[in-house]
Amino acid sequence: MTMSNTGGRPRPPTIHDVAREAGVSRGTVSRVLNGGHYVSPAAQDAVNAAIRRTGYVVNRHARSLITGRSDSVGFLLTEPQERFFEDPNFNVLLRGCTQALAAHDIPLLMMLAGTEDERRRLTRYITAGHVDGVLLVSNHSGDPVAEELRAAGVPLVACGKPIGLGSKVSYVAADDRDGARDMVRHLLSLGRRRIGVVTGPLDTPGGVERLAGYREVLAEAGIEGDERLVVSGDYSRASGEAGAELLLSRAPDIDAVFVASDLMAQGVLLAFERAGRRVPEDIAVGGFDDSPAAVSARPELTTIRQPWDRISAEMVRVLLAQIGGEDPAAVILPTELVRREST
């Protein structure tokens, strides 16, 4: 802190103090604070060292008036509030994005839009310029948010490929279809032949792609598709429980189930236990995500690992590049089969 000329009270250090400490001009300090363009490495190191020594903190409000940017990013989840607290994937993704943005000294604003009114209100807020870009999570087909933000010129990166928007919107996704193929091949390798599936919502990219992977592998193995073995869920534990009960009623001879999320798989396990079916002896169960729900399940779940740390880091990288003027981009990351006790 620097002593003020009146009253001896310390005043916050200014950009002038940083420039004086670093032995550079105020303009050089300003360029470092705004991305380091046209600044030599030596000058940048000197300014960063001076910032640490003086304790200088950027006045974001003043900078936003000059740059026209808010210096913040929105994390927009288009699901009901209770889903955020129930599904551990959202928390893992939020934490990863927060950490990745913290490296750039950019705060993340959490936004929940589970109803049509909430979506309209938040779309107005975002397009008014209160955030520089949006990380969009859980985008359903028919949900107008992605298209409205894109049309308004808001930098946007979706988690998962937005249905119907093609290459118009940046996205980062795990390879859902390939992960599903790996799980179904694993179940087949165990000698299971009556393999059911509890899908995710079929208006989401993950729901569509994981079901497609399941069907492709069964076809490759020469197993005729049986629609009685296909039930849909919504990624909630309750929908997994209901899906398992429906599968047992339709196909009592079922010997394996691929479940499109670990949280739904917890519900599947509850239903099988209640019905007196042993896992994995009677029915093998495979999940998807490798979320905390997989290791808290009993038995622990064999599942498909999504690389959440890489997904969140790539979402932030692609969004910041787009804010900086780059074109939309798509990133698809590989998944991994993780074997545990349920198969």
**42 and 161, same domain (yes or no):** no
**10 pLDDT tier (thresholds 50, 70, 90):** low
Given this model, what pLDDT does residue 59 score? 58
**180 and 298, same domain (yes or no):** yes
* 65 found inside a domain: no
Q: What is the pLDDT of residues 274-296, one digit of tens each?
A: 999 999 999 999 999 999 999 99
**220 and 157, same domain (yes or no):** no
| pTM for this prediction | 0.77
Which is higher by pLDDT, 312 or 3? 312
Q: Is 1's pLDDT higher than 60?
A: no
Range of the domain at 260: 176-305
Compute the average pLDDT of residues 243-251: 98
Convert 277-312 to b/e letters by CB count within 10 Å (16 or more is b): bebbeebbbbbbbbbebbeebeeebbbbbbebeebb
**164 and 274, same domain (yes or no):** no
* 170 found inside a domain: yes
**142 and 228, same domain (yes or no):** no
**84 and 149, same domain (yes or no):** yes
Q: What is the pLDDT of residues 207-231, one digit of tens each?
A: 999 999 999 999 999 999 899 999 9
Count: domains in the chain: 3
Beta bridge partners of 11: 2
Express as a percent the part of the chain with pLDDT over 90.
62
DSSP 168: G
**314 and 301, same domain (yes or no):** no
Q: What is the pLDDT of residues 176-199, one digit of tens each?
A: 999 999 999 999 999 999 999 999
**257 and 273, same domain (yes or no):** yes
Given this model, what pLDDT does residue 67 score? 47
3-state helix, strand, coil in the chain (%, to 5): 50, 15, 35
**278 and 168, same domain (yes or no):** no
* 342 found inside a domain: no
**240 and 286, same domain (yes or no):** yes
Q: Quick one: CA torsion of 327, 106, 204, 287, rounded to 10 degrees?
A: 120
**142 pLDDT tier (thresholds 50, 70, 90):** low
**205 pLDDT tier (thresholds 50, 70, 90):** confident
Which is higher by pLDDT, 273 or 10? 273
CATH number where 230 lies: 3.40.50.2300
Given this model, what pLDDT does residue 167 score? 65
